[in-house]
Amino acid sequence: MKKFSLLAMGVKTALCVGAFGSFGVMATDQAATEDKVERIEITGSKIKRLSSEAPTPVVVIGRVELENAGVSNVNDFLAELPSAEVGLSPENSNNTIYANGLNTTDLRGLGSSRTLVLVNGRRFIGGQAGGNSVDLNNIATSFIDRIEISTGGASAVYGADAVAGVVNIITRKSFEGVEVDVSTTNPLEGAGEQTFGSITFGKEYGSGGFIINYDYADQKQMARSDKSWYMDSPLRTIANPADTSGSDGIPGNIIINQQTHYGLYDESSEFLLGANQWTFDEAGNLRPFNHGDGLLPKGGLPGAAKNWYYTGEFGDGIAYAADQFFRTPLTRHTVNFAGHQTFAEDHDVSVDFTYAKNEAFGQSTPIFFRSIKINRDNAFIKNDLAKLMDDAGVKSISMRRLSDDFGPRIYNQKRETIRASIGLDGAITDNWTYSAYLQHGELTQDTSWYGEVLMANVNKGFDAVNFEGNVVCAERDAKGNVIGAVEGCVPLNVLGKYPLSQAQLDYHSTVATAEQGHKQTSYGVTVTGDVFELPAGFVQAAFSYDWRKESAYETPDNKIQGGLVFGNSGLPYEGELTVKEYATEVLVPVFADQFLAQEVNVEFAYRYMDYSSTGTDSAYKLGLTWQVNDDVRFRVAKAQSVRAPNVGELYSSVGTQFASRAESCAADSIAKEDQYKEQVTRNCAADNIPVGWTPSEDWRSGGSLQGSTGGNIGLGNEVSKDITFGVVYTPSFIENFEITADYWSFEIEDAISFYDYESAMQNCYRSESLVNPFCGKFTRDPNTHEVTDYLETSLNAAVEKLSGVDIESVYKFDTAFGQFGFKLVATYLENRERNPTGNAEDNRVHTGEEARPRWRARFNTSYTLDDLRIVLVANYRHSTVMDRNDWSIEDHDYNDIPSYTTFDLSSTYNLNDNVNLRLGVQNLADRTTPYHPAAFTDGAYYDVIGRRITAGVNVKF
């Protein structure tokens, strides 16, 4: 009887990677016989097979490639794959509350929630309470053996969420000895240093073994002001003062290539009275507001908002680049244990344990007050302000203030994740095996908001008066007369900038907190084996049952629940869902060893899912592999996949949200409309908004618009249908050369999409009528028509379509002075469409826009000589446009975004059998982001860090 080996997948990987050792390989042919290679399970199928071929392509990334790349987080590597994008990362999550520092991957750019991340073929707990996207911070880089990526729908095999594909992270199972690895990455300009260290210990004995690992990584914060290219070559867009209409051929917006400062919200307070803007000097005396070279002119369209930005030397307000960051800091600790033991012939038990502790924080501007009412009887008013108010005949003024007195607002996130899994694997008969598992994971996340204030207290403190010889917080009657002092209140002087006393800090400032948690429990069993024999081979099958429960909660403190702190309110929630799944796979060999049919197999998979939240659903996959001869192989698959809404999308409570003050019905906005001008004009009129209406200047300059965000219990499952067709060509007349091309196509119906305030407003008025799911998501004042509230949530409203081609090619050759290797991995995007409403007239084509370039490619060149290996990698992103649907010269003249290429150089040297040295340069040419409004600060698609040196050493004992 043959013994089932947990190392069989390693055999396959070694055969695939070969001597080339590139970052990813395609499945290659191997002559497999039962006495040489055991049955293996490949990502994308649960059938243990003798052949490694499957209808869907699988890319394998080896451990060595991760080390050579000089990355301490696997997401940094995955982001460079042409078939993947960054979901969340420290470069794009600085101001994402509850998500600072998360690292998630996004296959096909369909969203992280549509990429299923597995660890050793099993689900891993999500990285955010209520979500399903896995935080790759919790996967220790030094504990990874390899990563297998299967693109294409795989819900029939693995269940919901595998819409875009599967990332299966295979961890190390065995190791003998001790391994220490340390590395550092240092940008040549500014902050953002990274340090990494790990230690691994393992022991193998006759019937089993174990491995223990600890990883530490620390990544420093990087401010935008750290980068000379950002400070010396600034960029901002403003409404064009020369614009006269929406049809004059004049761009509606233009670029300003000077540092621009914001002329509102000064740290000493500022206000408008009469035709002037005022602030206070260091002594608290009234003086005119300093606008440097003067405010920039407003746009030329009727109803255009006043431009509050100015250039020149910084005077008052908010300085260019203040409190803005390219990267949030992140510290990670991970501990892993894996053990395996044979307890009877052909029966093994395995145990996996992970503990991860991560801490990150986001930082934004200090507390800002939109309207501080200062009455004429305020105790801190000096003669100059008193005279100004008296001359103007006003009894109060309204001030704005950026109150750095309480320090910067910092959102500190501490996350702890624990996951334990036990598995049983073994043989039932000579031809049938089983695999069963039970696992449980828990995430706790503690969030603290520093630099917060108690709004009721500060509002009382602003109203400071003289009463009975003391400066107190006024207690007033219904007519506004002072009748006493608010007990315990400490007055605030905001007529200038004064250091706060400890008593003021104690009374007005606070730290708000919220606790979140997520639990995942699952178990399952799979049996696989030969059903019966056909002339071409055995019909093989796999039968699975899986059960999973996901639960999440959020508990804000009393201050947040009561809406007592600045811009932060929310209620607690608890939610859970369970799912039972039954699945089967069948592989039928049709031909073998025939002319032009060396091997032809048909595969079918089906999964039935029963969700407590959304009911029953099903997924399937039908595939064909056709090995024509030794040189040519075809593969095709058609699949239906399902994504069920997660706990957070369904049950999260309503909390505070902020948005930019977009207004589709403003006269200047309608003038800029092109394709949808007729619908917007008609719908705004139907919403009783007068022709030529514009919101007030106070509304437009009021800073971020406060609203709400929350879950939607009415969500249902989304369904994706995809097709892949590929060819693998390995010409026998060219040694060590292979090329593959795979066409893929997706269509997602009832897509679960999150609609923010701006997109909801656009979709509301661009639809054929006001009868749509978006118009009810915001509220207007019945008199002023200005938006006063909104709700951002998810809806089953969108339809998404995309298609393209993946190309991979590998070639290597030996010379008398070393081995050369070349690998090209590229993705061509044929089509990307999104219909946000599902109505045919609202379909939008996004192919070739910034987030969806036509081409992405990675070209790897390697040179190996004895113990030295040098690798040069080029990453290419094709030129794109900002908007290919509504753009015209009436909008602006900078729609085109140039192509973007970076180069990374790495080298490794084996000093001896136990010591390996690494040295590299990332972003070798120090390529900055494209000088373009859409790309200038975009850390998701471009390198904002700059040239950096990586160095590391690996020592084994």
d(CA 759, CA 794): 12
Whether residue 348 contacts residue 340, with contact meaning beta carbons closer than 8 Å, is answered with yes
d(CA 257, CA 237): 9
User: What share of residues in the chain are helix, strand, coil (percent, to 5)?
Assistant: 10, 50, 40
User: Contact 57/42 with Cβ under 8 angstroms?
Assistant: no
How many alpha carbons fall within 13 Å on the CB side of residue 753? 23
Closest CA to 924 of 900, 903, 945, 906: 903
- CA 116 to CA 739: how far, in whole Å? 27
Domain boundaries, the chain: 235-320+368-402+454-498, 848-956
Burial class from Cβ neighbours inside 10 Å (0-12, 13-18, 19+) for residue 129 reads buried
Scored b (16 or more CB within 10 A) or e, 662-699 reads bbbbbbbbbbbbeebeebbeebbeeeebeeebbbeeeb
Contact 637, 623 (CB under 8 A): yes
Helices 677-686 and 757-766 cross at an angle (nearest 10°) of: 90
Instruction: Extract the residue ranges of the chain whose pLDDT is less than 70.
Output: 1-40, 49-54
What's the CA dihedral at 191, 192, 193, 196 to 10 degrees? 160
Q: Tell me the C-alpha distance between 284 and 800, whole Å.
A: 58
Question: How far apart are alpha carbons 172 and 143 in whole angstroms?
Answer: 6
Backbone dihedral angles phi then psi of residue 281, each to the nearest 5 degrees: -85, -175
Distance CA(329)–CA(194), nearest Å, equals: 10
**Both tokens assigned to 348:** 């093994």
| Nearest of 267, 265, 269 to residue 308 by alpha carbon | 265
Q: Which pLDDT score is estimated for 40? A: 61
Digit-coded pLDDT (tens) for 427-439: 999 999 999 999 9
pLDDT score for 632: 97
Contacts of 547 (CB under 8 A, 6+ apart): 522, 523, 524, 578, 579, 580, 581
How confident is the model at residue 54, as a pLDDT? 67
**3-class SS string, 729-780:** ECCCCCCCEEEEEEEEEEEEEEEEEEECHHHHHHHHHHCCCCCCCCHHHEEE
Bridging pattern class, strands 330-344 and 208-219: antiparallel
Among 519, 591, 511, 590, residue whose Cα is nearest residue 549? 519
pLDDT digit string, tens, across residues 448-475: 999 999 999 999 999 999 999 999 999 9
List all residues 6 or more positions away from 89 whose beta carbon is below 8 Å from its beta carbon. 75, 76, 79, 102, 103, 104, 939, 940
Q: How far apart are CA 184 and CA 919, in angstroms?
A: 10
Q: List phi, psi (to 5°) of 810.
A: -130, 135
**How high is the pLDDT of residue 616?**
97
